[in-house]
Copies of this chain bind each other. A is one copy, B any other.
Amino acid sequence: MRKNISTAVIRRLPRYYRCLSELANEGAERISSQDLARRMGLTASQIRQDLNHFGGFGQQGYGYNIKELKNELRVLLGLGRAYSVIIVGAGNIGTALARYSGFAREGFYVSALFDANPARCNRAEQPPIFPADNLEGYLAENPADIAVISVPVQHAQAMADRLCKAGVKAIWNFAPCDISVPAGTVLESVNLSDSLYQLTYLAAHREKK
């Protein structure tokens, strides 16, 4: 059944989770699809349709139980467990991600960074930064659930190939290029340039007032 869910629906799931987490933090217990729709800028019928894909957590006339729905979404998103993460490329972005405490709060633990530049390597740092040559040896002893690629664009595909060969099954790519991974490996990319150019496109074609 889950195979037929469109990418657009799946892309909205983290937003639902985020919105329900905010509501739970505010102390709310139930929310109607209408109110959830208003908060998320969607229609109530779209929300009911989206959540029906996953079993339909709502009760006619009572709305959604926020805590319950949030927990279901958490499991659905593969959260609520620990993930060991390595970061390949200890430049600006790689280092910023390693230092971001928000990820640890949701169960993502960066165990190590790797860099081709010896000057950046530092075993004493927390997490340690190892030479890129040590990657395969490290992964053989410390399997990683997720590898972040934050190397320069010309090395990104070769690094993805190495990671996949070393058994990594989930790649979060920050290099500003498309990379390909073998079947059975999942990939999600954050392309900051593409996002910035999207913004300049919108700015250039904005309705003049």
Give me the interface of A with B, judged by CB distance under 8 Å. Answer: 2, 10-11, 13-15, 17-18, 22, 40-41, 76-79, 83, 92-93, 95-97, 99-100, 102-103, 106, 108, 145-146, 169-170, 172, 176-178, 184, 186-188, 190-207, 209
Contacts and interface: CB of A to CB of B under 8 A. Distances in A.
A79 B200 contact: yes
A197 B100 contact: no
A149 to B, nearest CB: 12
Complex copy number for this chain: 2
Query: SS class of chain A's interface: helix, strand, loop or mixed?
Result: helix
B103 A93 contact: no
A202 B78 CA distance: 8
Contacts of A177: 18, 22
B78 A193 contact: no
